[in-house]
Structure 1
Amino acid sequence: MNTAVTGFSKLSKDAKIDWIANEYFANPAEAVAIIKQYWNSDIRLQQLHDEFIENTITNFYLPMGIAPNFLINDQYYSVPMVIEESSVVAAAAKSAKFWSTRGGFKATVLNTEKIGQVHFLFKGEAGKLQKFFELKKDSLIASTESITKNMQKRGGGILSVELRDKTSELENYYQLHVTFETKDSMGANFINSCLEQLAKSLKEEALHYNEFSPIEKDITVVMSILSNFVPNCIVRAEVSCTIEELAEKKIENPQEFAEKFVQAVRIAEIEPYRAVTHNKGIMNGVDSVVLATGNDFRAVEAGVHAYASRNGNYSSLSHAKIENDIFTFWMEIPLALGTVGGLTSLHPLVKMALEILGKPSAQELMQVVAVTGLAQNFAALRSLTTTGIQEGHMKMHLNNILNQYEATADERKAIAKHFENHTVSHASVVELIEYLRK
């Protein structure tokens, strides 16, 4: 029976593993062996990974692949992607190749503004608080000088500080809404440090403000934290070509394909059940590059999906149109990314991924990530509106099934031959394996 444990974080790594193995597995020795087989043989490298998080017992591997031939703003990129889902990298590479002969992708960073907030309670007159803020705003910003001076040298820092009255939604609730430019860093630590200093200065200034009553002087700071919703940190990615140029092996009637494609996107614009899956496909591309480059894919996911709901209904991130016989497919998404700081200077494969991308600036990385998401979406919609999504996906998934059942070389050859003309499904593959083994 499983039991609670005290002082787990204080145990040595081996002791942690032994407790896990003995507590949860019928064969503890086998469990320990599985855990340790993923350790890196380079002790220094393993120690580096151990210190990324707390209570580390091993490394969890995900495949890192390359999608070549991405022509973005007339420059070719080979895009590193970290993801476990079969067919994603292949789909991205196929889209990249398709559009490389049709002018490539165009990407533009529209804005790079990031946001943080000091959430606080003030029990007094809103007008008095507004007057206080206007008088003390400059000194509040000045109090962060020691934190912002290096960022300012790089052209970043605090862009604006605004007092927001939210008392109609929550009693006594106000915000300092702060915007930032963090240049090539994602900036989370920088932003949070600035916010905490602003909060501290806000409380101190209020205590010494003579026009406040005793109760008004006692400002309660609830929390100071950045926002992962960055609707003004936007990148646009798009592709376009004439209808005729869409023709290829699986697109014999380009006009019909383009019209059906546009309808598929419009369905995702109005139907949330479809939009969620539609946008998930975009994030297959986005997240894989975000992971490969050591950025925070959870923050990106949260911000992107909030952006997809910004008009009150969850909707498609991408859009398509046909005008004057020109097919255009595009999207605008918020991406707060960094190419310095965090794992970018620590994780060897992250450094390698950034090297492969040509050591991009944060804005260049935003463009690559957005384009990869758009390419992924194009590949999915092309499959959905032509052969169907499962044909390519299940062929890629076939290899995973064969690995699961430890198929021999002869079995793999026979199975691959069979499914050249048959639909792949998990059940049909297993049935064929069992037949071959009789």
Structure 2
Amino acid sequence: MTKPIEGFSKLTKAEKLDWITANYTENPEAAKNVLKRYWNTDKTLQRLHDEFIENTLTNYYLPFGIAPNFLINDRLYAIPMAIEESSVVAAASKAAKFWLKRGGFKTTVLGTEKIGQVHFIYSGNTEKLIVFFKEIKPKLYSDAVSITKNMKQRGGGITEIGLRDKTDSLANYYQLHCTFQTLDAMGANFINSCLEQFAATLKEGARDFPAFNGEERNIEVVMAILSNYVPNCLVRAEVSCPIDELHGDGTGSSEDFAQKMVRAVEIAKVEPHRAVTHNKGIMNGIDAVILATGNDFRAVEAGIHAYAAKDGQYSSLTHAEVKDSTFRFWIEVPLAIGTVGGLTTLHPLVKLALEVLGKPSAEELMQIVAVAGLAQNFAALRSLVTTGIQEGHMKMHLMNVLNQLGATEAEKTKLTEHFKKNVATHSAVVTAFEKLRKS
């Protein structure tokens, strides 16, 4: 049985490799070879990647692709996407090409407000707390001046600090609900630094507030942390065209196709089981751009899914309508992202991705990311209501199946040609491969 290890983080990279492979793999030498194959031959670049996180053993590669022909607010973009799932980049590209001839995507940033909270317990008189907060509020701002100075000079900073009574939900629970503008930075470190200073000021001020009795002076700060739910850091992306310019891969009339698209969205609005998969497809596009540009896809995912449930039931992030003979399709999503700080200045591919996008501001990147999600959803729904999702997906997934089967390059060429004219289910690919091998 493997024993716990002390001081793993202090081991050298080679020692870490020796320990993990010796204790947790069937063939240590083979495992070490796999890990080493993904090391970068450029030692400076490898050292940079090693220092991104802790206990690094190797690099984990994701394909970095490009979806071209995105016309956004009359400007043409090629959007970088980092993702492992086949057909995502192809679907985004197909949607971009479709809307390129129909006016492209239109986007609007509806807000850029970020949120942070100081969560605390106070068991005294609420009216006294309200009076205390009004008195200490200016000091909350002034004590954070050293933190906010540079951000304020650039036009950002703290926009509001409010006291919220949450005792209906949890006994003696209150919070400082704080809002911020962080410009081109995602702002997590800035916000958290401000919040920790607010917490210190709050506790210190309570100890000296004359109206508080002994118990009331002991405000217990539970935590001070930003929120990844940012409903007022919002962007809208949309497409529209006359119905007679709309078509669904040649299946049925444009009007029938438009109505099917609207119904598909309506189903995702009222049926959570469908909404989750519907929104997962949207996140295929959003996450791929978030990853390529060095942003935090976990934070974005959490915030967006919370927004999808803001009305009490998990629902579609996209909307569709047919009105006055025009089909309109749009999305509104919260996106707290940045183009400075974090990996944006460290990871060479992130820097390149941002360069490809024209070195966008955070607001511009919000719009690009929202468009990627909308395009992905349009492509998925278009397939679902016409030919079905598997026909296109499996053709893109074909190479993965052939690689799993160990097909040679010659076999891949023959089978790729074969499945241009035949439906590519997994079993059909296996059957065709085995038949080719036998022949």
TM normalised by structure 2 equals 0.98
Contact 2:248 2:257 in 1 (8 A): no
Match in the other structure for 1:258? 258
| Larger mean Cα displacement after TM superposition, 116-125 or 247-256 | 247-256
Q: Partner of 1:22 in structure 2?
A: 22
Structure 1 segments, 4+ long, off by >3 Å, are none
Identity fraction in percent: 64
Look up the match of 1:204: 204
Partners of 1:58 and 1:355 in 2: CA distance = 27
Q: Which moved more, 1:134-143 or 1:327-336?
A: 134-143
Cα distance, 1:270 vs. partner? 0.3
Structure 1 stretch displaced more, 45-54 or 411-420: 411-420
**Equivalent residue pairs, number:** 438
Q: Deviations over 1:44-78 (max 9, x none)?
A: 11111001100000000000000011000000000
**Which whole-Å CA distance do the structure 1 matches of 2:227 and 2:240 have between them?**
34
Shift of residue 194 of structure 1?
Answer: 0.1
Does the aligned pair in 1 maintain the 2:248–2:386 contact within 8 Å?
Answer: no
| 1:140-155 paired onto structure 2 within 5 Å | 140-155=140-155
CA drift of 1:434 comes to 1.9
Q: Which amino acid aligns with 2:55?
A: N
Following superposition, the deviation at residue 252 of structure 1 comes to: 4.8
Distance 1:274 1:206 in 2: 50
Which residue does 1:84 correspond to in 2? 84
Give me the whole-angstrom Cα distance separating, in 2, the residues matched to 1:87 and 1:239.
Answer: 22
Q: Report the equivalent of 2:165.
A: 165
**Deviation (angstroms), 1:25:** 1.9
Post-superposition shift, 1:408?
1.7
Q: Which residue is 1:334 aligned to?
A: 334
Aligned 1:172-321 pairs, distance under 5 A: 172-247=172-247, 249-321=249-321
Residue 73 of structure 1 is matched in structure 2 by 73
> CA offsets per residue over residues 347-389 of structure 1, 9 Å max, x none?
0000000000000000000000000000000000000011100
Distance 1:254 1:44 in 2: 55
Q: Describe how 1:36-51 pairs up with structure 2 within 5 A.
A: 36-51=36-51
Q: Which amino acid letter does the alignment assign opposite residue 240 of structure 1? A: S
Q: Distance in 1 between the 2:160 and 2:409 partners?
A: 64
Cα displacement (A) at 1:169: 1.2
What CA distance in whole angstroms lies between the structure 2 residues aligned with 1:146 and 1:355? 32
1:52-131 matches, within 5 Å, as 52-131=52-131
Shift of 1:87: 0.3
User: Which AA in structure 2 matches 1:269?
Assistant: K
Report the Cα distance in structure 2 between the residues aligned to 1:108 and 1:274, rounded to whole angstroms. Answer: 27
1:171 counterpart letter in structure 2? A
CA contact (8 A) 2:121 2:221 kept: yes
Residues 88-129 of structure 1: CA deviation (Å, up to 9, x unaligned): 000000100110100000000000000000000112000000
Q: Are the counterparts in 1 of residues 109 and 363 from structure 2 also a CA contact under 8 Å?
A: yes
Aligned equivalents of 1:117, 1:251: Cα separation in 2 = 52
Q: Structure 2: how far apart are the matches of 1:118 and 1:227?
A: 10
Conserved 8 A contact 2:249-2:386: no
Whole-angstrom distance in 2 between the partners of 1:2 and 1:76: 56
Give distance in 2, aligned partners of 1:132 and 1:176. 13
Matching residue's letter, 1:290: I
> Residue in 2 aligned with 1:381?
381
CA shift for structure 1 position 253: 1.1
1:411 equivalent in structure 2: 411
Q: Deviations over 1:376-435 (max 9, x none)?
A: 000000000111000000001111111122212332233223323322122221222222
Counterpart Cα distance in 2 of 1:11 and 1:149: 40
SS in 1 for 2:226: strand
Q: What residue is the counterpart of 2:392 in the other structure?
A: 392
- How far apart, CA to CA, are the structure 2 residues paired with 1:140 and 1:409? 66
Check the 8 A contact 2:248/2:382 in 1, yes or no: no
Distance in structure 2 (CA, Å) of the matches to 1:105 and 1:17: 48
Q: CA RMSD in A?
A: 1.0
- Cα deviation, 1:169-202, whole Å, max 9, x if unaligned, reads 1111100000000000000000000000000000
Residue 251 of structure 1: CA displacement? 4.8
Deviation at 1:249, TM superposition (A): 4.7
Shift of 1:250: 2.6
Partner SS, residue 216 of structure 1 = coil
**What secondary structure, in the 3-state scheme, does the structure 2 residue paired with 1:19 have?**
helix
Listed as ranges, the gaps of 5+ residues in structure 1 are: none
- Rounded to whole Å, the distance in 2 between the matches of 1:414 and 1:215 is 80
Secondary structure, aligned partner of 2:216: helix
Deviation of 1:267 (Å): 0.3
Q: Which segments of 5 or more consecutive residues in structure 2 lack a partner in the other structure?
A: none
Contact 2:230 2:336 in 1 (8 A): yes
The answer to whether the 8 Å contact 2:156/2:182 transfers is yes
Q: Within 1, Cα distance between the matches of 2:316 and 2:247?
A: 25
